[in-house]
Amino acid sequence: MNTKTDGFRLSPGDALIVVHVQNDFLPGGSLAVPGGDEVIPVLNQYIARFVQEGLPVIATRDWHPPDHCSFHAQGGPWPPHCVAGSRGAEFASGLALPEDVPIVSQATWPDKEAYSSFEGTDLAYLLQEIGVRRLFIGGLATDYCVLHTVLDARRLGFEVVVLEDAVRAVDVEPEDGRRALARMREEGAVFAGCKDFA
Ligand code: VGL
Ligand code: ZN
């Protein structure tokens, strides 16, 4: 079902976006994504590759206040997760982010949900400043924040490559992840895995 290409040669204008690889989204976390930990070694390979090529790597994180509107106690759909400053909101310890990685925090206001890393953040500005045109996106979760970040990136005119071996879905309903990938493809995202990199 995925749009395959013959491979990717990284070049200036490319950037890697690592979405929400935080403890609460890993097995044992408060909003565990099935297999969420499996993206870590794969993303580490991508991170190493981008760093080696001198290309930007940016990490985004879900960074909620304790009374965020998406939490059950406020009538929202989710258990409390990724509360700013908590252990659950920390990046996975095995994730090998560069020391100087820019971090974009999202959904930081109590009354506002944001599934896109562009929504209410300076991510678009940051990417524009450093001349990025093509985004390679992986992380958690396929059917929420990866999906909406990819859709916004396409709306903003970025080329998008979804790293399909480095995403996992919540799958509240079965097939949500599959549907999300199909949606991204409809909007012009292409798909790649480690094997597609020369
Ligand atoms: C996410 C549900 C709630 C995500 C964040 O990062 O995909 N999902 N908050
Ligand atoms: Zn959240």
Q: Environment class of residue 56 by beta-carbon count within 10 Å: exposed (0-12), middle (13-18) or buried (19+)?
A: buried
pLDDT(145) > 60 = yes
**Is the separation of the CB atoms in 32 and 25 below 8 Å?**
yes
Residue 1 has pLDDT above 80, yes or no: no
Residue 141 pLDDT class (50, 70, 90 cuts): very high
Residue to mutate (ligand 1; options 24, 25, 72, 151; most atoms within 8 A of CB): 25
Choosing from 31, 151, 162 the residue with most ligand 1 atoms within 8 A of its CB, the one to mutate for a pocket test is: 31
Return the residue whose CA atom lies nearest to atom 2 of ligand 1.
144
Task: Indicate which ligand has the atom closest to the C-alpha of 108.
Answer: 2
Give the DSSP letter string of 154-193: HHTT-EEEEEEEEEE---SSTTHHHHHHHHHHHTT-EEE-
pLDDT tens digits for 54-102?
999 999 999 999 999 999 999 999 999 999 999 999 999 999 999 999 9
> Ligand 1 mean position to 1 CA, how many Å?
25
ipTM, 2 decimals?
0.98
Please tell me the number of the ligand nearest to residue 21's CA.
1
